[in-house]
Amino acid sequence: MVAPASAPADPRSARAVRDVVFVDGVRTPFGKAGKKGIYAETRADDLVVKVIRELLRRHPELPPERIDEVAIAATTQTGDQGLTIGRSASLLAGLPQSVPGFAIDRMCAGAMTAVTSIAGGIGFGAYDIAIAGGVEHMGNHPMGEGVDPNPRYVADNVVDPSALVMGSTAENVHDRYPSLTKERTDAYAALSQQRYEQAQLAGKIAADLVPVSTRSGEQGWGLATADEPPRPGTTVEALAGLKTPFRPHGRVTPGNAAGLNDGATGCVLADAETARELGLPIGMKLVGYAFAGVEPEVMGVGPIPATEKALKRAGLSIEDIGLFELNEAFAVQVLAFLEHFGIADDDARVNPWGGAIACGHPLASSGVRLMTQLSRHFAEHPEVRYGLTSMCIGFGMGGTVIWENPNFDTAGGAK
């Protein structure tokens, strides 16, 4: 009797999840959206091209043909942000035609989701090295352009009508947290501007910026080398007098919220072994991530359950986190996070170089800005082991990514 042939081994059984590392990130200067902004006559896809080319310029040790994927996020995927922008921008940037690409959307967390999606592929073994990022040209594509919300959202009471206006959701967060007064949000906004100004003067911001050639019908050719939105010298007293456009006698103003902006970001992600093989630097290692949904009318609280979920999955607590990069869509949203976790409004671990209230928030691009800055903080703080990036997301979501400092072990200390 002939013994039956043994079944082939399942190739998945011996596959281990690989370490995913953040190699490096860059961004364009962020501009003000509108006809007078620095990018009024610049295409969104050309901003992405600048970012991809700069990543390759900074890392000649990375052979372009080794890039396995290009994932670029955009909230409004039409016009110069359409045509599967991850693929089209990679071709325009001169990457080999063998390099694929795709577009992705999770509103404000587009670039963050590009990173987590690519990270899953790297961890599983589908990619060794890839580029992830995001772009938003809010001057060319105003928030909500072309959107046709299903009338049943309101007619069937699926969401409160205020959920469709981000500024109104921020006013709702104020309602939910009465202790978060306008005075506190104005004070936080002024601090963000001050920290950004100090970081800029110290040369910490410019190091991550890609100069972009611009053209204006009135001014001709120019070069964007610095963020356009910051307001140096902002004071609490000046912010107190601003109008509240989302509610009469409200608390949300143009001064304690991020503006409407244009810009692009990008980063290189890799398997740790591949990074070492190619001699690429390792800025930080991915620990874990989570996204969570909340009531759409208070979307600003989304980072709270997302962070709790990410920490639980990673086996960590909020006390283990030594550095925070929180997106400042609205000051009240950041303060709700800090109050929930018992962190002071002016804690030095939170947004040490200021945030989106100062430098701007071009929607889908911002997640990689947070990550790039966190990796820079890690390099300066080897005593810190873990940090996180977190942001609220339109229509009731939050996202959090936890990272580990590769410099920690050599420091011989603890947080």
Hey, what are 67's tokens? 């890039």
> Is beta strand 101-104 parallel, antiparallel or unpaired with respect to 212-216?
unpaired
For the question of residue 359 being annotated catalytic, the response is no
Confirm whether 108 is a catalytic residue: yes
Q: Indicate the SS3 state at residue 209.
A: strand
Report how far residue 290's alpha carbon sits from residue 174's, in angstroms, rounded to the nearest whole number: 25
Catalytic residue among 108, 137, 359, 381: 108
Nearest to 399 by CA among 340, 339, 325: 325
Three-state secondary structure call for residue 154: helix
End-to-end CA distance of the chain: 66
- The predicted-structure confidence for 396-406, as pLDDT tens digits, reads as follows 999 999 999 99
CA-based nearest residue to 79, from 88, 90, 69: 88
Q: Please identify which of the residues 267, 359, 377, 392 carries the catalytic annotation.
A: 392
- Surface-to-core class of residue 128, CB atoms within 10 Å of its CB (0-12 exposed, 13-18 middle, 19+ buried): buried
pLDDT at 2: 47
- Strands 321-326 and 386-393 turn out to be parallel
Domains and CATH numbers, the chain: 20-139+159-401 (3.40.47.10)
Catalytic, out of 137, 361, 377, 381 = 361
Going residue by residue through the chain (415 aa), what tens digit of pLDDT does each one get?
Answer: 444 555 555 555 446 789 999 999 999 999 999 999 999 999 999 999 999 999 999 999 999 999 999 999 999 999 999 999 999 999 999 999 999 999 999 999 999 999 999 999 999 999 999 999 999 999 999 988 988 989 998 899 899 999 999 999 999 999 999 999 999 999 999 999 999 999 999 999 999 999 999 987 677 899 999 999 999 999 999 999 999 999 999 999 999 999 999 999 999 999 999 999 999 999 999 999 999 999 999 999 999 999 999 999 999 999 999 999 999 999 999 999 999 999 999 999 999 999 999 999 999 999 999 999 999 999 999 999 999 999 999 999 999 999 999 999 754 554 4
